[in-house]
Structure 1
Amino acid sequence: MRVVVGLLLLLLGLCGSGAQGEAGGLGEVNEINQNTDPKDPAEESTEQITKQTTCDIWTELRALRDMVVELNVHVELLQRENSDLQTRLSSSESELLISKSRIDQLERENAVQATELTSLGTRLTTTESKTSDLEKENADLQTRLSSSESELLISKSRIDQLEIENAEKPKVAFYAGLTNAGQLGPYNTDITLKYSKVFTNIGNAYNPSTGFFTAPVKGVYNLQFTGYCYHGGNVAVHVYKNNQRIMNNWEISNDNVPGYLTNSLVLELTAGDEIHLVLPSGFSIHDSGNNHSSFSGSLLFTL
């Protein structure tokens, strides 16, 4: 810019000198022309050329002046733009510093998060391993539970079946004492013992009026009896099944020494079979409120 201004000043100086020369030259020429003859055609041509050249220089100077003005305006615009760019640059640099600071902060946070993520990954792996173990244990427990439930269903089914069978199964049990009258016998003939003091008679299979026990169903039965005597008496009890003697028991007592006998039987009986006890002739039996002599029995199981 300084170079351009210097050139313009130089041209202006030259133009000023040329103008003065031309003015002086023209004055002298006019004076000569006034004292001499008319001008030569060649001189007139040179004079015209000189005038034309002077006009061209002034035209160029005006153009250069306009150019300088435009350049000044352009320079001012460039300076303003440069100032704006400087301001924007400063703002950008500030923002860049803030961004770098934020980036550093984010990098630190990212490092912390990466560490936490690694820790969480480790914990997740451990949790997944524990979860896998728990799933296996749960599967085993489910299998065992299913097996237990199946066994429970089978057990319940069996219990229900047994309850049904037990409900349908006849219940037979009896217990009876002989008498409160004291001693019976001896007699000259065999007599059927009627145990009249009935304490238990489930199923009503024992008849105290006849002394007979009648099997209600086919099965295995357990039967027990006792006999007692004293004051030198002799006790005996025979067991009959359907009027056939199947057992003979007796006890001989001495003076003032009581005699006592007891026995039991396990018999397979068909429905309708009868069991009764007989006091043979010549023997006696004693009973009282103490129930020394008794007869009892029960169904063990059906067949």
Structure 2
Amino acid sequence: MRRAEAFLVLLLCLYWTGAQGESGGLTGNDITQTEIQSEILGVKSTSDQTNITPDIWAELKELRDMAIEHSVELRNSKSKMEKLEQENTAIQARLTASEHKNEVLENVVKELQRENTVLEARMNTSENEVVKLKIESADLLDRVTSFEDKNKVLEARMNASENEVEELKRQNADQPKVAFSLGLTDNGLIGPFDTDITLKFSKVITNFGQVYSPSTGLFTAPVRGAYYFSFTTLDGRSNVFRRVYLYRNDKRVLFSYNYSSSHRESVSNSLVLQLEKGDVVYLVLPAGHSVFDDASDFTSFNGFLLFPL
């Protein structure tokens, strides 16, 4: 019975010691074995029995050490708990900040996604426009190439035409200007004569190249070529033959005549001659024939160069 009472006293001491340690009072290190023994001895003095065995002291010491150790562990655990609570508060604050940041990031991501969608749509539109422009550019390039080819053909033709024009100009410049148109006289009737005479056309209407001589009545070819000649004669008499000859050099090449009883009837003819340079052409009035001319140029002689040969 006394042993139980001593044990209860020891437990009360341990409880009081732990309470003092938690409230800032005495620590476990301040409680000495002597104090505990004194408390136990006080209990012993009030007790009727004083024969506690040494084993109880050893157990009490062990219990004291355990109580001190548990008290220190409780204080350390409280410090750790406070530190953990502070860390937990900091972590919660960081989590709150992270959640806010995540929300902001989510909004940014959503905005970027929206902008990306808009940009993708614009990119698709731009790509379609680029494809369309490429097609149009290819079509324009084909058309330009076609125009360039046509222009090259036209340019070649133009160059050829210009060359031909230049050649014609050169030929025309090199070609002598040969043409004449003549009237015989203003004196009326010429002839008849006893011999053949060369008609000398004294009225020069045109004489390009000065190829006809009114003083001799001869046309002289300046170049080898084809020449055209024509003439018309009028006789003022009636009931007579009307004749005229065209000569090249000393050879008669054309003989024209008619007979009429009417008054003032004409004779006309024309031909093309190939002449060498220096050949002469003239009209001859046969003996016994006459011609008539006045200001009306009833009797005329004409000729010109067709082309050189």
Could you state the TM-score of these two structures normalised by the residue count of structure 2?
A: 0.75
Alpha-carbon offset, residue 298 of structure 1:
1.0
Q: 1:242 aligns with which of 244, 249, 260?
A: 249
- Aligned ranges 1:215-230 → 2 under 5 Å: 215-230=221-236
Matched residues in 2 for 1:11 and 1:125: separation? 97
* SS in structure 1 at match of 2:304: strand
Match of 2:98 among 92, 95, 102: 92
Q: 2 CA distance for matches of 1:171 and 1:13?
A: 156
2:41 to 16, 26, 30: 26
Deviations 1:45-90 (A, max 9, x none): 66975785577457536xx34x544444443443333333333322
Match of 1:5 in 2: none
Distance between the aligned counterparts of 2:46 and 2:34, measured in 1?
18
SS of 2:273's equivalent in the other structure is strand
3-state SS in 2 of match to 1:282: coil
Residue 279 (str. 1) matches residue 285 (str. 2): yes
Distance 2:44 2:81 in 1: 47
| Residues 285-294 or 225-234, more deviating | 225-234
| Alignment match of 1:265 (pick from 271, 288, 302) | 271
Whole-angstrom CA distance in 1 between matches of 2:56 and 2:220: 181
User: Which consecutive unaligned segments of at least 5 residues does structure 1 have?
Assistant: 1-8
1:15 and 1:57 in contact (8 A); partners too: no
Q: Determine the structure 1 residue equivalent to 2:297.
A: 291
Show the counterpart of 1:132: 138
Q: Indicate which of 162, 168, 176 corresponds to 1:170.
A: 176
Match status 1:13 vs 2:18: no
Q: In structure 2, list runs of 5 or more residues that go unmatched.
A: 1-10, 20-32
Aligned-partner Cα distance in 2 for 1:288–1:187: 19
8 Å contact 1:190–1:278 — kept in the other structure?
yes
SS in 2 for 1:292: coil
State the Cα distance separating 1:140 from its structure 2 match: 2.7
Change (3 A) 1:29 1:124: closer
Match of 1:159 among 159, 165, 189: 165
Amino acid at match of 1:13: Y
1:301 is matched with which residue? 307
Given that residues 188 and 292 in structure 2 are in contact (C-alpha distance below 8 angstroms), is that contact kept between their aligned partners in structure 1? yes
Identical positions, percent: 33
2:216 aligned counterpart, secondary structure: coil
After superposition, the CA RMSD in angstroms is: 3.7
The residue identity in structure 2 corresponding to 1:243 is D
Task: Provide closer, same or farther for how the CA distance between residues 10 and 161 of structure 1 changes in structure 2, counting only shifts above 3 A.
Answer: farther
The alignment partner of 1:100 has SS state of helix
How many residues are aligned here?
Answer: 283
